[in-house]
Amino acid sequence: MITTVVGAGSWGTALAMHLARVGHDVHLCARDPALAARMCQARENADYLPELRLPDNVHPTDDIAAAVASASMIVWAVPSHGTRDMLRPSAHAVRTGTVIVSATKGLERVTWTRMSQVLGEELPAGCPIVVLSGPSFAHEVARELPTAMVAAATDAAASARVLKDLRGKRFRLYATDDVVGVEIGGAYKNVIAIAAGVVEGLGLGHNALAGLVTRGLAEMTRLAVAMGGRHETLAGLSGLGDLVLTCTGAASRNHHLGVELGQGRALAEILAGMRMVAEGVNTAEGILALGAAAGVELPIAEQMASVLTGRTHPMAATEALMLRPQKHERH
């Protein structure tokens, strides 16, 4: 079975390694020809997952159109801000009926469109899209540490195929048809993770962190439900599970960025020192736009957007949240 993974960052590479281990013949597509050549020669992705050997049935390439044309399943692992531009030149080569697995968390800038919607707009008709989300650090998947995720699709047959074809002894999937809930959870949790990092960077303690994560989950749930998602989805792996991992895990790029902000570093300086994308930076404004359209109040996202744009100091944002009018916990 030929499977193509588009996106040779840490997450795309980890998924390619997993797919190869469970029996797929994998094309791993990099936009940068030099990166593809280095991976072919060294048999590792030293830029993103150093010292981890690529299985023999992972074939790095920069010829995306050829790779997607030969695939019966395509895993899309390109950051949200680059998804449409990277997809357009090769979308015509995708065969009708090819299952598309969206492994990108985030929203498209300006349009604030969910990733499954972007893929659906650009790909040929008849390509079912399955959203893969949940608590999953790339380096742990690459090292075969146990991971549980969710596959979300309205096409039951496509969802069943993804569950079957990605299953492994250290990789477990659960199915859902709540695509909206899964994608909103996957995008929103990165904003809350930045806030969690700010709490740590300011030295505000575990009480504050626990309160933030809990109220962050409430915000995520309100928005997802207002957009057509379900409460129980946000209480599951793609909501609470991913939120806990991203807010507490040392490997979380969004959490790291928040810590640096809390310690007084400027956003531009932090981003200049990061090789990989912190999706929450691009997502905060979009979450607020979706909330405004749905008529949902999102105070944590509002304060984080203000911090990220430099309008508010992190400590002032924290105090603003604490001094909001008190209300019933269900609201």
Pick the CATH number of 187-322 from 1.20.1270.360, 3.20.20.450, 1.20.200.10, 1.10.1040.10: 1.10.1040.10
Q: Which residues define the annotated binding site?
A: 7-12, 31, 48, 105, 134, 136, 138, 189, 242, 252-254, 277, 279
What pLDDT sits at residue 213?
A: 97
**Confidence label for 287 from pLDDT (cuts 50, 70 and 90):** very high
**pLDDT of residue 182 exceeding 80:** yes
Break the chain into its structural domains and give their ranges: 2-177, 187-322
What pLDDT sits at residue 329?
A: 85
Concerning whether 189 is annotated as a catalytic residue, the answer is yes
Q: Which residues define the annotated binding site for sn-glycerol 3-phosphate?
A: 105, 134, 136, 189, 242, 252-254
Q: What would the pLDDT profile of 188-242 be if each residue is shown by its tens digit? A: 999 999 999 999 999 999 999 999 999 999 999 999 999 999 999 999 999 999 9
pTM (two decimals) = 0.95
**pLDDT of residue 106 exceeding 90:** yes
The average pLDDT across 287-315 equals 95
**pLDDT of residue 330 exceeding 90:** no
Look up residue 186 and give its amino acid.
G
d(CA 249, CA 227): 29
Task: Determine what percent of the chain is predicted with pLDDT higher than 70.
Answer: 100
Q: Which residues define the annotated binding site for NADPH?
A: 10-11, 31, 48, 105, 138, 253, 277, 279
Pick the closest to residue 132 from 164, 100, 108 (CA basis): 100
Bridge pairing between strands 44-45 and 49-53: antiparallel
Q: Which CATH superfamily is domain 2-177 in?
A: NAD(P)-binding Rossmann-like Domain (3.40.50.720)
Question: At 276, phi and psi to the nearest 5?
Answer: -100, 160
